[in-house]
């Protein structure tokens, strides 16, 4: 052991042959050690460190660092959640996204799957979504579609059912509490009634978010009734008098199409209005909207096709689960597809089969993990 002393500090060289460390002391206390491998350890550091390299450190900022690489760390110093990271929380970049360190967000409820960096909760029946802590989620809420209408008239045709309301958003804030999830049923068929307007679909709900059920397709007996208002509106029945389409709800869907003799209007869809009927041609249902929250692209909320005469061309169902229209029973009206919110196809007069149902809704919730 050899020692070099100064008036203020001691510099001690450990030369025992085993460690060969240089130990720096201040007032008798060790403050730094330089070992034989060249590794310097110290109890404190003064200065900005701007010129130092090879040091892993966390960024402290109110916004996430730009162009991060895997393993980078960031402390969210903002007073609110930023980039899905809670306030005053440390995060690490996994190569794709920032993730909170420590207690990780999770939840229960529905059918749970994963896709890439996301955990996905799919509800095809009503239930409860319960987060483990506060966080941000993305949601898709689709209501039940309306059933097709039926017109009991010599040249009568029923309008296609409107699609269920379609709502989606990212970054929705949730807290550690059970959140209600309600899946809207598809509009029921009107049974053996000779002429009736289709029934509306049921609303779907997630927390404070409600998507409105699709409007039933227009129907009636001799004097057609208009398509009903809904998330998307029902198509108009045969236009022997004052039939018209049902309106959709802003931000959720579109109106149905108009009808003429032997050509009812299609139900509205999430992305497009229902097509107008023309002589011997039923209007097609409005197109739905594609969404990938399930882990793959699926189209939801298509409108039902309008009905036509026995020699006419039924309206096609809108992409996204809409049912095809009927042509007096030669082609039966199609039901809306379950868990898509599709509208049911319109039906012809009393000689036709007993109508169609709307498709039930769905709720999908996902979050980064």
Query: What pLDDT, in 10s, does the model give residues 214-251?
Result: 999 998 766 667 899 999 999 998 876 557 899 999 99
- pLDDT for 190: 72
User: Could you tell me the sign of the dihedral formed by the alpha carbons of 231, 237, 239, 243, in that order?
Assistant: negative
Q: Residue 187 and residue 184: Cα distance in Å, rounded?
A: 9
Using 50, 70 and 90 to split pLDDT, how confident is the model at 252? very high
Burial class (CB in 10 A: 0-12, 13-18, 19+), 162: buried
Average pLDDT, the chain: 85
- pLDDT for 15: 46
Burial class (CB in 10 A: 0-12, 13-18, 19+), 356: buried
Structure tokens at 345: 């196809």
Give CA separation, 76 vs 58, 59, 63, 205, in Å. Answer: 10, 9, 7, 32
As a whole number, mean pLDDT of residues 116-128 equals 96
Is the pLDDT higher at 239 or at 362?
362
Using 50, 70 and 90 to split pLDDT, how confident is the model at 119? very high
Q: Three-state DSSP class for 256? A: coil
Task: Name beta bridge partners: 136.
Answer: 173
Torsion angle, alpha carbons of 39, 43, 45, 50, to 10:
40
Domain ranges of the chain: 1-50, 56-103, 105-369
2-6, 50-54, 68-72, range with the lowest pLDDT = 2-6
Using 50, 70 and 90 to split pLDDT, how confident is the model at 17? very low
Torsion angle, alpha carbons of 235, 302, 248, 239, to 10:
-10
As a whole number, mean pLDDT of residues 110-136 equals 95
Strand pairing class (111-115; 118-123): antiparallel
- pLDDT for 51: 62
Q: Taking 80 as the threshold, does the pLDDT of residue 42 lie above it? A: no
- pLDDT for 10: 52
Q: Residue 322 and residue 342: Cα distance in Å, rounded?
A: 4
54-58, 138-142, 291-295, range with the lowest pLDDT = 54-58
Are the CB atoms for 148 and 158 separated by under 8 Å? yes
Q: Residue 325 and residue 344: Cα distance in Å, rounded?
A: 8
% residues pLDDT > 70 (the chain): 78
Query: What pLDDT, in 10s, does the model give residues 170-202?
Result: 999 998 899 999 999 999 987 555 567 899 999
């Amino acid at each position: 052991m050899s020692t070099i002393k100064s008036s203020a500090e001691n510099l001690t060289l450990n030369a025992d042959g085993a460690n060969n460390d240089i130990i720096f002391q201040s007032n008798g206390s060790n403050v730094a050690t330089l070992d034989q491998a060249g590794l310097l350890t110290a109890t404190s550091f003064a200065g900005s460190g701007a010129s130092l390299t090879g040091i892993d450190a966390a960024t402290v900022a109110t916004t996430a660092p730009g162009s991060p690489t895997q393993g980078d760390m960031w402390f969210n110093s903002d007073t609110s959640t930023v980039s899905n990271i809670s306030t005053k929380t440390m995060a690490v970049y996994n190569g794709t996204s920032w993730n909170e360190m420590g207690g990780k967000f999770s939840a229960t409820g529905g059918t749970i799957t994963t896709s890439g960096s996301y955990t996905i909760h799919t509800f095809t029946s009503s239930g409860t979504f319960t987060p483990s802590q506060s966080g941000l989620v993305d949601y898709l809420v689709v209501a039940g579609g309306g059933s097709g209408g039926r017109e009991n008239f010599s040249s009568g045709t029923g309008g296609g059912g409107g699609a269920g309301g379609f709502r989606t958003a990212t970054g929705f804030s949730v807290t550690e509490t059970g959140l209600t999830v309600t899946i809207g049923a598809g509009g029921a068929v009107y049974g053996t009634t000779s002429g009736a307007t289709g029934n509306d679909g049921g609303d779907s709900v997630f927390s404070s978010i409600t998507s409105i059920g699709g409007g039933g397709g227009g129907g009636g007996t001799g004097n057609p009734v208009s398509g009903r208002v809904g998330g998307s509106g029902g198509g108009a029945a045969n236009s022997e008098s004052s039939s018209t389409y049902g309106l959709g709800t802003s931000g959720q869907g579109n109106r149905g199409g108009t009808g003429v003799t032997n050509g009812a209007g299609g139900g509205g869809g999430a992305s497009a209005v229902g097509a107008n009927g023309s002589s011997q041609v039923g209007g097609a249902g409005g197109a739905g909207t594609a969404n990938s929250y399930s882990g793959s692209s699926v189209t939801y909320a298509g409108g039902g096709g309008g009905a036509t005469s026995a020699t006419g061309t039924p309206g096609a169902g809108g992409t996204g689960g809409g049912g095809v229209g009927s042509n007096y029973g030669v082609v039966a009206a199609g039901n809306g597809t379950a868990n898509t919110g599709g509208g049911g196809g319109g039906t012809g007069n009393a000689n036709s089969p007993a109508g169609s149902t709307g498709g039930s809704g769905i709720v999908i919730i996902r979050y980064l993990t």
